[in-house]
Structure 1
Amino acid sequence: MGILLAILVLSFLIIIHELGHFLVAKAFKVKVNEFSLFMGPKLFSFQKGETTYSLRLIPLGGYVKMEGEEEESDDERAYNKKPVGVRSAIIAAGPIMNILIALIFAFILMAQTGYNTTQVKTVLPGSVAEQKGIKVGDTLEKYNGKTVFLPADLEIFAYPLKNESVDLQFERNGETHNITLTPNREQDGYMLGFTPKDYQSFDGVDSTLVAQVTDNSPAEEAGLKKGDRIIKINGMEINTRRDISKLVDELGKEEITITVDREGKVQELKPVKPVARKTAEWKAIGLEFEYSKGGFINTLKASVDYSISTSRSIYYSIGWLITQIVPMSELSGPVGITTLISDVVQDTPSIKETVYSLLSISAMISINLGLVNLIPFPALDGSKLLLLLIEKIRRKPLNPEKEAMITMVGFVLLIALMIYVTFNDILRRI
């Protein structure tokens, strides 16, 4: 069931992307010869008007084949006969559609579940935030000059940092304040390796209920399972996720014993040692943020903030891959994405939460699909837009043979990259 839903999600996002190209091409009266979902040998097709609609074998991508797109055509409605501005709009429409559908998904999800804000809910006692005078109710606006849209942005900004100090800008009662502090990133932090059902809260009723166990983690070694409720650690009672975090951090490298309620029976699991983790930047600074819900305008703003934040993190990640801050082995392809969606679906206990999870992950993948396609790499939409810009500057198109060669080289490189990431995905799954 999970795999089927994953394939449907990916297929839907690809259709949305190609539909963007298709609809804008039709709007500008460009002749569309074929609208294809997926690549490779044709499974079946049907003709409607001047356009052939087809489904192909390999579930990778898809395309809209326009008259005069890959070869010169004398047809007045051919793609090559249209002005540069029209052709650019057609090419950009695919990625833009993916970004728009992600925004819609995010809005629907946040309208139902709420959204993160950058307003300070708690200043942790003894933290550098407390020492610098940050107060409950302050709104964090910037981190090292970069706008903070979501608390998760802090982790993205801090990822390549070690012991560096940071500049924070926050708003209090309409006034802007600027401070410099050094987050306590060196404090010991440890984890067991599981995701609670209520992962948004540290104090929620279900923040001790296990929704997912991380592979090769201490939690998995101990025998923790989905559906377990953690009730004791080393004999000490647990009521919230905050209790778990506090106890695990205090015990550090010591061996601990987890006691769980499993289907109404109390069980003591195998003793294990927690593993060290990098301290979250919000904790290193000493802040927790408000979670809010309600209001059309606020929800729309939160959806836009989410889209901008996610978009920015994608480009940061691409930069880290290029500079090898993140190894290439971390890349995922269709197999990895399908597995991720399938795992998320299987780990949700109800239909409603399955829908929420699908909306969340679909929004993230759709933004990825849209933005990656805008990269000016041969065979991607971004490359086509760059060539159109060059044509506009030169006031004449590139040689069709040279353009076809550039596209072919890019396509071969993309296929090679796809094979590499698929191989990585399979190895990770094994």
Structure 2
Amino acid sequence: MGIVLAILALSFLIIIHELGHFMVAKAFKVRVNEFSLFMGPKLFSFQKGETLYSLRLIPLGGYVKMEGEEEASEDDRAYNKKPIGVRAAIIAAGPLMNILTAIVFAFIIISQTGYFTTQIKDIVPGSAAEKYDLRVGDKLQKYNGKTLFNVNDLGIFSYPLTNESITLQYERNGVSKTVELTPERENFILGFTPLQDELEGPDSNVVKAVSDNSPAIKAGLKVNDRIVEINGADIRTRKDIRDILQQNQDKNVNILVERAGELQKLKPVVPLKSKNPEYYAIGILDFVHEKGSIGSTIKEAAKYNIFISRSIYYSLGWLFTGTVPASELMGPVGITTTISNEVAESQSLKETVIRLLSITTMISINLGLVNLIPFPALDGSKLVLLLIEGIRKKPLNPEKEALITMVGMVILIMLMLYATFNDILRIGKG
């Protein structure tokens, strides 16, 4: 079921993208010869009016083939006969449809789940935040001079950092203040997912899932185990676990669990050193959660997409600088698997829909923005070529433009094959 929903979600986003090109082309009376979903050999097609609608074998992109786009045409309705502004609108319509879809989906999600503000709700005792007088009620505004539109921006801004100090700008009682502090980025974990996310929830010490190759699995921790004691200290919540592991750091821990009503001692293990989420590294335990009006929900949906947009472009930069290894590239198989896993973990129909919409939103904004990059075969490169044509006051040769697109397409297919190879390796490793 998850795989089917994943394929449908990806197909929907491709259709939306190509539909943007198609509708604007039709609106400006451009002749469309073919509307294709996917690439490669034709699986199915039908003719309606002047346009051939087709489904192709390789689930990679799609296209709208317009008269006069790849070769010169004397047809009055040909793409190459239209003004630069019209052609730019047709090209930009695909990515913009994906961006608009992401905003609509984000609005639906936030209207159901609410959203976290940047206002501090709780602070970790003894943390950097408490030391430097951050207080409950303060609203975070900027991180190292960069505006925080969403609390998740903290993770993006801090990703390439190690032990550097950071500058936080926040608002207290209507007045902006600035503080410089050094986050506590190192954390020690056992490697399990709790049944309850709340740090001090009554079932936050119950195991929901155990991570592969983690200290937890080496100790013998199992799903539904309740951790009741670590190194002789009573455990009632996940907060107790966290506090003891931070004190213990890289020394052996002895874990006692309640399993099927009986107490069982596990094998001693050394906790794994991990990187804290930045909000926690700063010392913020929780942010204020709200469920607002239609206006505020639209605003938060836009902010969420700004966060996703920035994370995409930061990630691309990290790939070139080596901050993120190329092996992290994800192809169609990986994307489909990710969507399928998200759906499989859902506990209800509503949660399934929310999870599916959430990851589809991220992929949609990704598809829209990446297509605006000025790389051959992507919409961004076509917009740059139109800009060059406008500066030269002379139309470009459609055959040369088609050749540039072909070279770019070959490179993109090679990247996709490499990413798919990465996907298969990841699946093989479990």
TM-score by length of 1: 0.92
1:286 and 2:279 are equivalent in the alignment: no
Question: Aligned match of 1:216 in 213, 217, 220?
Answer: 213
Question: Aligned match of 1:251 in 241, 248, 269?
Answer: 248
| Aligned equivalents of 2:293, 2:260: Cα separation in 1 | 39
Counterpart secondary structure, 2:177: strand
| Aligned equivalents of 1:230, 1:104: Cα separation in 2 | 42
Q: Match of 1:4?
A: 4
Q: Match of 1:242?
A: 239
Task: Report the count of equivalent residues.
Answer: 427
The answer to whether the Cα contact below 8 Å between 1:211 and 1:347 also exists between their aligned partners in 2 is no
| Aligned equivalents of 2:142, 2:402: Cα separation in 1 | 45
Q: Match of 2:335?
A: 337
Q: Match of 2:169?
A: 169
Matches within 5 A, 1:164-313: 164-185=164-185, 188-196=186-194, 198-199=196-197, 201-204=198-201, 207-208=204-205, 210-224=207-221, 230=227, 232-234=229-231, 236-258=233-255, 269-288=266-285, 289-313=287-311
Q: Cα deviations across residues 322-360 of structure 1 (Å, max 9, x unaligned)?
A: 111111111111111111111111122222211111111
The answer to whether the Cα contact below 8 Å between 1:211 and 1:348 also exists between their aligned partners in 2 is no
1:193 Cα deviation (Å)?
A: 2.5
Q: Unpaired runs of 5+ in structure 2?
A: none
Decide whether aligned partners of structure 1 residues 347 and 410 sit closer, same or farther in structure 2, where only a CA change above 3 A counts: same
| Aligned equivalents of 1:135, 1:252: Cα separation in 2 | 27
| Aligned equivalents of 2:208, 2:106: Cα separation in 1 | 22
| Aligned equivalents of 2:359, 2:256: Cα separation in 1 | 32
| Aligned equivalents of 1:88, 1:198: Cα separation in 2 | 50
The answer to whether the Cα contact below 8 Å between 1:212 and 1:347 also exists between their aligned partners in 2 is no
| Aligned equivalents of 1:259, 1:363: Cα separation in 2 | 42
| Aligned equivalents of 1:74, 1:96: Cα separation in 2 | 29
Decide whether aligned partners of structure 1 residues 347 and 81 sit closer, same or farther in structure 2, where only a CA change above 3 A counts: same
| Aligned equivalents of 2:392, 2:134: Cα separation in 1 | 55
1:107 Cα deviation (Å)?
A: 1.3
1:75 and 2:75 are equivalent in the alignment: yes
Give the letter for the 2:70 counterpart.
E
| Aligned equivalents of 2:232, 2:386: Cα separation in 1 | 68
1:407 and 2:405 are equivalent in the alignment: yes
The answer to whether the Cα contact below 8 Å between 1:373 and 1:382 also exists between their aligned partners in 2 is yes
| Aligned equivalents of 1:49, 1:227: Cα separation in 2 | 60
State percent identity of aligned pairs.
66
1:151 Cα deviation (Å)?
A: 1.8
Q: Match of 2:102?
A: 102
The answer to whether the Cα contact below 8 Å between 1:230 and 1:261 also exists between their aligned partners in 2 is yes
1:207 Cα deviation (Å)?
A: 4.0
| Aligned equivalents of 2:417, 2:312: Cα separation in 1 | 21
Q: Match of 1:383?
A: 381
Q: Match of 2:92?
A: 92
Give the letter for the 1:190 counterpart.
F
Decide whether aligned partners of structure 1 residues 34 and 349 sit closer, same or farther in structure 2, where only a CA change above 3 A counts: same
Q: What RMSD, in angstroms, separates the aligned Cα atoms of the two structures? A: 2.2
| Aligned equivalents of 2:366, 2:195: Cα separation in 1 | 26
1:76 Cα deviation (Å)?
A: 1.2
| Aligned equivalents of 2:360, 2:222: Cα separation in 1 | 26
Give the letter for the 2:240 counterpart.
D
Counterpart secondary structure, 2:275: coil
Higher deviation after alignment, 351-360 or 204-213: 204-213
1:222 Cα deviation (Å)?
A: 4.0
Q: Match of 1:363?
A: 361
1:110 Cα deviation (Å)?
A: 1.4
Decide whether aligned partners of structure 1 residues 275 and 90 sit closer, same or farther in structure 2, where only a CA change above 3 A counts: same
Decide whether aligned partners of structure 1 residues 403 and 62 sit closer, same or farther in structure 2, where only a CA change above 3 A counts: same
The answer to whether the Cα contact below 8 Å between 1:129 and 1:287 also exists between their aligned partners in 2 is yes
| Aligned equivalents of 2:74, 2:122: Cα separation in 1 | 67
1:40 and 2:46 are equivalent in the alignment: no
Decide whether aligned partners of structure 1 residues 180 and 86 sit closer, same or farther in structure 2, where only a CA change above 3 A counts: same
Counterpart secondary structure, 1:277: strand
Q: Cα deviations across residues 351-400 of structure 1 (Å, max 9, x unaligned)?
A: 22111111111111111111111111110111111111111111112222
Higher deviation after alignment, 267-276 or 87-96: 267-276
Decide whether aligned partners of structure 1 residues 388 and 145 sit closer, same or farther in structure 2, where only a CA change above 3 A counts: same
| Aligned equivalents of 1:150, 1:368: Cα separation in 2 | 17
1:410 Cα deviation (Å)?
A: 0.8
Give the letter for the 1:122 counterpart.
D
Q: Cα deviations across residues 14-50 of structure 1 (Å, max 9, x unaligned)?
A: 1111111111111111111111111111111112221
| Aligned equivalents of 1:10, 1:269: Cα separation in 2 | 44
| Aligned equivalents of 1:281, 1:83: Cα separation in 2 | 49
| Aligned equivalents of 2:70, 2:224: Cα separation in 1 | 55
Decide whether aligned partners of structure 1 residues 213 and 107 sit closer, same or farther in structure 2, where only a CA change above 3 A counts: farther
Q: Match of 1:64?
A: 64
| Aligned equivalents of 1:39, 1:29: Cα separation in 2 | 25
| Aligned equivalents of 1:99, 1:232: Cα separation in 2 | 49
Q: Match of 1:53?
A: 53
TM-score by length of 2: 0.92
